[in-house]
Structure 1
Amino acid sequence: MAEQGRLVDPEEALDRLLRDLRSRPEGLTDREAARRLEVSGRNELVRRARRTWPGQLGRQLVHPLALLLWAAAALAWVGGTPPLSVAIVGVVLLNAGFAFVQERHAERAVEALTEYLPPRATVRRDGEVRSVDARELVPGDVIVVAEGDRVSADARLLEGSVELDISTLTGESLPVLRTPLPGYHHGPLLEARDIVFSGTGCTEGEATAVVFATGMNTELGRIAALSQRSEYTESPLETQVKRVAWLIAAVAVTMGVGFIPLGTLLGGLTLADTVNFAIGLLVANVPEGLLPTITLALAVGVRLLARQGALVKRISAVETLGSTSVICTDKTGTLTLNSMRVVRAWSGDGEHDLTAPPAAPPAAPSDLVRRLAAAGTACNNARWDPADPDRRGGDPTELALLYLADAVGVPVDSGHPTRRAQFHFDPALRRMSTVDEVDDRLLLRCKGAPEEVLPRCSLVANGEGAVPFTEELHLDVAALIDRWARQGLRVLALAERAVAPGELDGLGREAAESGLTLLGLVAMVDPPRPEVRDAVTRCHTAGIRLLVVTGDHGLTARAIARQVGIGTDRTRVVTGAELERMPEADLDALLAENEELIFARSSPEAKLRIGDALQSQGHVVAMTGDGVNDAPALRKASIGVAMGRSGTDVAREAATMVLTDDNFATIVSAVQAGRRVYDNVRKFIVYIFAHATPEVVPFLLYALAGGHIPLPLTVMQILAIDLGTETLPALALGREPAEQGIMERPPRRRGQNVIDAAMLGRAWGLMGGTTALLVIALFLATLVQGGWGWGDSVSSGPLHHVWVQATTMSFLAIVACQIGTAVASRTERASLAQTGLLTNPLLLWGIASELVFAGFVVLLPPLQPVFGTTAPQWWQVALLVPMPFLVWGVDEVWRWSVRRRTAPVEG
């Protein structure tokens, strides 16, 4: 029964449908409707139960890197530094709260869908028409749909006819006619000509319809269910950061635990001493500044993209864009301007070029061109305000005809005060006609597809009246149409005939649209955005594959795609019907060919299916969309991109990024920004990791020497480096300009590690090792100069001050080497000469700030006992000066050798 969901066939014969619904044209009774409501439930979209907010917040607090920070906070507390422990906890809570807010914000697509449902519905109950709460509609109810109404449920028309805006479900802006049809209809339900759908709007007419589906059983409910089934997927960087966190944890725990037997058995230390220094090792290995640095760097990327017209709702999506390997783009408004213009016209006096912007007329438009434009103005339902372009609207094709009329000096009055009759546009007949009173006589004007209008024409207008539409002339016109079609132009034919005064009453469509006089043809195009071709070229250079997934006709999509550089004349076009019949294995094989494709007449499931198939092959997929029907695909894609101007609220809520200008070129700019952010994340990870070695090696030296060499650093000094001196330069590296050739390399694989062996070797071995040698050398030099000898105790007496001086110099040596590390980390391969020393002024400010912070730590009396520091001597400061240049110089030589080894061989 219908009360259990959609268990009836809405396309069966109308009498059988009424029988299965146990309904009749007069509607249900109130008592029967109340009974059915108990069974079928309310007519509303139900949101699936989600995780409660404590669970979502808790998940952010147990992120692997967050766990390491919790451990660092605990160790800081155990080490006797509660203030720093509190600071670390604050970092964890701040990051968790920020991520939690972002995730909650992305869960509102279903709530946005509910805005498409009207609060009230007009229904027949107990034999009378009344207004009821739309949530109380049930299958079997008979509803009344009139102009201006939103449809409350999926229903089959009983009588009357309406024009509907179903763009929320199909993505197409052209209103469609819905009228009762006799017999059966086979095909996609959305194309059924006698069914209206929940959430669509009635633009004209009035009809009654019997409800066969409510709530989640409607087409709108199906989209809501798809949106909810599309779960959140982690970005590549989020996945990699978790892997890095576990790697850091493994290294930290292994070194900390391994230090205990090493110190006790080889170093001869007490168990208490070894445990204390194991804590120091753990603190040295945990990069307390890594998580906030990554978060803030991504937030900077979000801010930069917003200035370029891309609003990113989840900060990790910035990095996802950088790894995008496939972009599935819509056509209208994204690749094109979404502004149809007439560019060619043909009439009895020949062909006319109207390409001068904005589709300006010839110097002296002929009377036939004016007559052609007047017919396009009359047979038209678009809105036109001559004084305010912002108040013009309607079907883009009809607006193009109004722009043509305005350009050639034909008056435009979208109110149509002289219209006497109208035959609505019929998608099956592909034509529309109106009857207007012109100079005390009636004229029928007809426009439509040439193959539908031309066979109904017997004459062709010319300058002297009309001539017969001979077979020879017909062939010439057909050749012209074919030539225009190959250029990707949309062609319309316009014709007219006189209607006798008494003929209008009872005039049928078939008779009315016959014996026409052909006025001419117009060819129009939705011009590609001028910047898209360059953006497409950048995609190709960057190894990004482009697929056009659109609700438009395949030939039109292919022509536009070809104009902007996507595909060729042989690019395959896959229709929605073909895709529905295509097995999964065939679709996988098709997508695995790595060719550019065009998917035309695509349904919501088609977009979702294409995205899933690409992601299963390891691709990072960016999917564009603007309609309600796009929401599931936008939610499921690696990066969902919604249109800000033409998009619906549902699409914007489901997407991760919103384009404020609806421009494909903005997507490409965002991809470049994402690559830049990812590169910069790698740069500051190298920078941060390079300081782990000089923090860890002193502990190992102490242990291996059995305590005969004092500890070169204190735990507080390590925390001052990790949370103080290195943070601002690391953030400045997050603003590093993009390296040359960033869009000339292929996208990285989704599973590619953000940290690789070469990166670790450079950070820990090359820069970190060089820094460790310099730090230990300065530490020992300070001890020896102060009178220390092998095995001397520094816990008390005059040597204690010498040891404080030595640890201060270890701290300052790491800070000095950080300057060289920061400059070297700015690039992975290029030299400093190519990058430019002054191209990142924020880094210079960051270096200055770390020098100021280090100066406070070693010079301010209140901070000296906290960090165990003292003021250095002049000769010690002099030894610090060359250290940044030594660290940078070693890395510069290494990068030079890499460039030399990987340079292409000439000849």
Structure 2
Amino acid sequence: MTDPSSAPDPREPLPALRRDLGAGTRGLSSREAGRRLTVYGPNEVRRRQGHTLIDDLAGQLVHPLALLLWAAAVLAYVAGTPALAVAIAAVIVVNAVFALLQERQAERAVEALSRYLPEQTRLIRDGRERTVEARLIVPGDLVVLDEGDKVPADARLVEGAVEMDMSMLTGESVPVDRAAGPSRADTPVLREHNLVFSGTTCVGGQARAVVFATGDHTELGRIAALSHHAVRERSPLELQVKRVAWLIAAIAVCVGSVFLLVGVGAGMPVAAALTFAIGLLVANVPEGLLPTITLALAAGVRSLARRGAVVKRLSAVETLGATTVICTDKTGTLTQNRMRLQAVWTPAGSADRSAEHPSGFEELADAMAECTTVTRDATGFTGDPTEVALVEGAAWLDRPADLAARDERRRALFRFDPSLRLMSVVTDTAVYLKGAPEAVLPRAPGCDRDRVLAAVAAMAERGLRVLAVATRPVDGVPARREEAERDLRLLGLVGLYDPPRPQVAEAVRRCHAAGLRVHIVTGDNGVTAAQVARAVGIGSPRMHVVAQSEGVRDHELDELLTRNQEIVFARASPETKLRIADALRAHGQVVAMTGDGVNDAPALHRADIGVAMGLSGTDVAREAATMVLTDDDFATIVAAIESGRQVYDNVRKFIVYIFTHAIPEITPFVVFALSGGTVPLAIGVLQILAIDLGTDTLPALALGREPAEPGIMARPPHRKGEGVITGAMLARAWAFLGPLSAVLVMGVFFYVLLRAGWRPGERTGVHSPLHHAYLQASTATFAGIVMCQVGTAFAVRTERTSLRRAGVFGNRLLLWAIAFELTFTALLVYTPPAQHIFVTAPLPLDVLGLLAVFPFITWGADELRRWLLRRSHAEAQGRNGRE
């Protein structure tokens, strides 16, 4: 089999298909698989996108904010300044390229996360079962399918039967049965009962299948080939900022138009009036705001990935910062998922782990090992941690398991059902069953129920997970599960201990400090779950335990969730998780919900942040989730929430930074217009462009990487639906830092002019005696705005905390960005080519001395403002405490 285009007919008789594929019952050899990988290529569907780099660049050039700059360029040309028009057009192109590169980088950052979550599959190679990356599968491979697995390639079942979720290919909402057997004539390929297809999901059963198509040759690949473009959705954060940017631009156009009419009506030359309108447009357009936000979100995604949380959407970073409630599993998330058999109980006696070789538990030990699907490889036992603990516990009870003999005896397997909370197997002679004691006892009518429940309670109070084990003789294989799991004899109880993760208690403490509640939603016993909750600090000071969560009605659930308490929902089914997520969201909470099973997918979809387990979770759960934990650790969820808050805060910081400098940039034009031209323009349009594109951008990007502010997890989350831009932010930018900067820069402008003998109304044109002084004054204004930017950058690093507490040198990127903008400014002021283009002149030492104190005045004034805010807040808290 060497030609990828000559794929065999998957519906031909199985022996013929095996022969065409060169596939035996022991799977392919590693060497043969390597050769086929060279021929067929990796098992990946290549993306085909209809838009090209040129298309994307064109989209940036006609961006709404870019259109305003185009309007400014047209006005410049009409006013008789073609050089300025060309400069503005060049700025538009440069900014479009810059924005495009940032958006592409953000998209690649999200796409590159696939390396953190390599899709893997189990298959038979060299006669042994092993796990490999799905991209390395080739035609002829024998893959193993189990509940929760995603099918890695198109394949034909050779043994077993499965239930498949085919909705992504056929739109069917109900799973369909697929089983090994001969093909049926005149049946469409997607309806063929012995075929499974890439991307679909196994929701039940177990089977083996031989791969006949990979990559672009699969049904999924053919569908993907028909897709020509995918639309990238803007995050709510980007949409909010875009609306505000439009508002600012609209204000600029309106104010510019009004002043244009007033100026012309007052006798101002048309060219001067147009210059004013151009300056107002250029000064108000936040050219780099949207791509800067995209890059900040992408940086947050990469940061989270390094900490073990893979976020699948940029907008989820924003949602994480608003999370108010975490609903978490217990096993593997709060605990280490390293189960150990700690105690056993039978009607005849009990034993604890302290006993070296307890006797009298042989029948219980044999049943424990029989009712598992654990396998053994070179590294030891593999499988569900609970079942591994049972097999290892059987050895402690002097009944080591023979897994090969166990598999030979097995005639039927009924896998664990979350709604039944049971699992059972049928052998040649008996049925063995294990599950939650409450589910097993009704099926074992002959046991002393009160005595068993007392033993269960005693184990649960020690924090043990309790399972009941039962059996009954059987002759033949029952036709249905209900027939197998009845009239049982209780053999005993097993108590499993799973220690809490050491870092969870600190993570829970941080959640409480941050105003988050943590609820446990588990299928385990309520007493056991409550013990674990207490061990890690959940439920302090008030905890409520719902022993049977499935029986809680909606109105009772609403009442529970609105109380000031944390809740342990025990014996919860996946449907319970969904109801809890719905109820919390109905009460305005932002919910992070964990899950790992197939049936958890609806709840993960419904939660604001669905969190799947990367190690123990199924493909279905990972597909449904917004975030995947690569370490299955609860502490990673808390770290992700902190990162979400950090990114959200940083976006606000550089918004304040960018908005602040609109005021000192606009003020010279306002002064020019209100004075009727008697006060010359303190800054040129090209100088404003140099600020907005040259000195403004890198500090804004550096603020997007600002470390988390001290106390970020000691405050409540921001309200759901709260705008990223608040009135307090605008007041800080437009009513405090901006006017302060405007006063400083206009002050240095008038200082230079007045020192040279200028009086209002005197000419400062090219041939006037005051022209050089005007050039120095204009240059001082330009440099003054840059120096105020430096002070503002340090000021906005914190919202209330002092800079000393945050650390003056805590953001090295910002220090490098400031070094760049100072160097860039010096080049524009002191190099002859730049002086000619940007109309600047060298500054004398006394002016440089004045400019040097601007950063300290700007930062110092805001530091004083923040100190007054902290003092006022502390006094308010003191008054509330006394009351």
TM-score when normalising by structure 2: 0.72
Q: 1:776 to 1:576 in 2, by over 3 A?
A: same
Which whole-Å CA distance do the structure 1 matches of 2:618 and 2:488 have between them? 44
Structure 2 counterpart SS, 1:415:
helix
Alignment partner, residue 792 of structure 1: 762
- Please tell me whether the aligned partners of residues 526 and 546 of structure 2 are also in contact (alpha carbons under 8 angstroms): no
Q: CA deviation at 1:485?
A: 3.6
C-alpha distance in 1, partners of 2:63/2:672? 30
Indicate conservation of the 8 Å contact 2:69/2:92, yes or no.
yes
Q: What does residue 842 of structure 1 align with?
A: 813
Aligned residue runs from structure 1 range 256-275, under 5 A: 256-266=256-266, 268-275=267-274
Query: What is the SS of the residue equivalent to 2:628?
Result: strand
Shift of 1:333: 3.1
Residue 388 in 1 paired to residue 391 in 2?
no
Kindly tell me the number of residue pairs found equivalent between the two proteins. 743
Secondary structure of the residue aligned to 2:327 is: strand
Equivalent residue, structure 1, for 2:466: 491
Aligned to 2:781: 810
Aligned to 2:689: 719
| CA distance, structure 1, for counterparts of residue 812 and residue 171 of structure 2 | 64
- Offset, 1:366: 2.8
Aligned twin of 1:878: 849
Q: Report how far residue 515 of structure 1 moved.
A: 11
Shift in Å, 1:790: 2.1
- Is residue 523 of structure 2 the alignment partner of residue 531 of structure 1? no
CA–CA separation in structure 2 for the residues paired with 1:618 and 1:429: 32
Of residues 795, 798, 809, the one that matches 1:824 is 795
| AA matched with 2:693 | L
**Aligned-residue offset at 1:548:** 4.1
Partner of 1:145: 179
Would the aligned equivalents of 1:74 and 1:85 in 2 still touch at CA under 8 Å?
Answer: no
Counterparts in 2 of 1:628 and 1:443: CA distance versus 1, 3 Å = closer
CA distance in 1, matches of 2:350, 2:375: 27
Paired AA for residue 337 in structure 1: Q
The aligned amino acid for 2:846 is: W
Secondary structure of the structure 1 residue equivalent to 2:610? strand
Q: Does residue 203 of the first structure (1) align with residue 226 of the second (2)?
A: no
1:87 to 91, 94, 98: 94
Q: CA deviation at 1:269?
A: 1.0
> What 5-or-longer segments of structure 2 have no aligned partner?
1-48, 77-83, 118-133, 135-147, 160-167, 194-198, 209-230
Amino acid aligned to 2:64: L
Residue among 347, 351, 357 paired with 1:365: 357
Cα distance in 2 for residues equivalent to 1:790 and 1:137? 76
For 1:49, the equivalent position in structure 2 comes to none
Tell me which of 527, 539, 542 is aligned to 2:514: 542
Match of 1:402 among 391, 395, 418: 391
Distance change >3 Å, CA 86–CA 419, structure 1 → 2 = closer
How far apart are residue 711 of structure 1 and its match?
0.3
> For residues 344 and 481 of structure 1, what CA distance do their matches in structure 2 show?
11
Q: 1:93-242 maps to which residues of 2 (within 5 A)?
A: 93-94=100-101, 115=151, 119-120=155-156, 145=179, 199-203=202-206, 235-242=235-242
* CA gap 1:122/1:387 in 2 versus in 1, 3 angstroms: closer
1:631/1:654 contact within 8 Å kept:
yes
Q: Secondary structure at the match of 1:199?
A: strand
**Hey, what does 2:289 align to over in structure 1?**
290
Aligned to 1:194: none
CA distance in structure 2 between the aligned counterparts of 1:866 and 1:794, rounded to whole angstroms:
18
Corresponding residue for residue 878 of structure 2: 905
Give the C-alpha shift of residue 713 in structure 1: 0.6
Is 2:411 aligned against 1:411?
no
- Is contact 1:573-1:599 (8 Å) kept? yes
Secondary structure of the equivalent of 2:268?
Answer: coil
Q: Quote the Cα distance in structure 2 between the aligned partners of 1:319 and 1:514.
A: 54
Query: In the alignment, does 2:466 pair up with 1:479?
Result: no
Compare 714-723 and 861-870 and name the one that shifted more. Answer: 861-870
Q: TM-score, normalised by structure 1?
A: 0.70
8 Å Cα contact 1:323-1:620 kept in structure 2: yes
Deviation at residue 717 of structure 1 after TM alignment: 0.7
How is 1:446-485 mapped onto 2 (pairs within 5 angstroms)?
478-485=453-460
Spell out, residue by residue over 1:559-616, the C-alpha distance to the aligned partner (whole angstroms, 9 max, x if none): 655554444663346745756xx4xx77666655565455677777765565455445
SS of 1:647's partner is coil
Of stretches 668-677 and 83-92 in structure 1, the one that deviates more from structure 2 is 83-92
2:61·2:93 contact (CA, 8 Å) conserved in 1?
no
Larger CA deviation: 602-611 vs 485-494: 602-611
Distance 1:831-1:635 versus aligned 2 partners, 3 A rule: same
Equivalent position of 1:735 in the other structure:
705
Give, in whole Å, the separation in 2 of the partners of 1:422 and 1:446: 14
Offset at residue 281 of structure 1 (A):
0.7
Query: Could you tell me which amino acid in structure 2 is paired with residue 800 of structure 1?
Result: H
Change (3 A) 1:245 1:612: farther
RMSD: 5.0
Counterparts in 2 of 1:590 and 1:233: CA distance versus 1, 3 Å: farther
Counterpart AA for 1:75: A
Q: What are the Cα deviations for residues 35-71 of structure 1, in whole angstroms up to 9, with x where unaligned?
A: xxxxxxxxxxxxxxxxx97799999998999522442
Question: Where does 1:310-321 land on structure 2 (aligned, <5 Å)?
Answer: 310-321=309-320
Question: CA separation in 2, counterparts of 1:294 and 1:668?
Answer: 23
Deviation at 1:829, TM superposition (A): 1.3
Q: 2:657 aligns with which of 682, 687, 690?
A: 687
Report deviation, 1:654: 3.9
Closer/same/farther in 2, CA of residues 57 and 588 from structure 1, 3 Å limit: farther
Alpha-carbon separation, structure 2, partners of 1:275 and 1:696: 15
Q: For 1:420 and 1:119, how far apart are their aligned partners in 2?
A: 29
Residue type matched to 2:241 in 1? V
User: Cα distance 1:120–1:714, how it changes in 2: closer, same or farther (>3 A)?
Assistant: same
Shift of 1:725: 0.9
1:542–1:747 contact (8 Å) kept in structure 2: yes
Structure possessing the higher relative contact order (Cα contacts under 8 Å, 6 or more residues apart):
1
Residue in 2 aligned with 1:333? Answer: 332
Partner of 2:306 in structure 1?
307
SS in 1 for 2:405: coil
Give distance in 2, aligned partners of 1:823 and 1:401: 59
Secondary structure at the aligned position of 2:403 is classed as: coil
> Conserved in 1, the CA contact under 8 Å of 2:109 and 2:302?
no
Mapped to 2, the partners of 1:319 and 1:774 lie a distance apart of: 36
Structure-2 residue corresponding to 1:130: none
Q: For the residues of structure 2 that align with 1:613 and 1:513, how far apart are their CA atoms?
A: 36
- Residue by residue over 1:390-440, the C-alpha shift from the partner in whole angstroms, topping out at 9 and shown as x without a partner, is x511x443322112234566533211269657686697796857779xxxx
Query: Residue type matched to 1:375 in 2?
Result: D
1 CA distance for matches of 2:248 and 2:617?
43
Mapped partners of 2:634, 2:810: distance in 1: 29
State the Cα deviation string for residues 308-338 of structure 1 (Å, max 9, x = none): 1012232232222111122333444333334
- Paired residue for 1:21? none
Structure 1, unmatched stretches of 5+, are 1-51, 124-133, 158-167, 170-197, 206-230, 355-361, 437-441, 459-468
CA distance in 2, matches of 1:515, 1:311: 45
CA displacement at 1:743 relative to structure 2? 1.2
Whole-Å separation in 1 of the counterparts to 2:55 and 2:566: 43
Alpha-carbon distance between aligned partners in 1 of 2:425 and 2:604, rounded to the nearest angstrom: 39
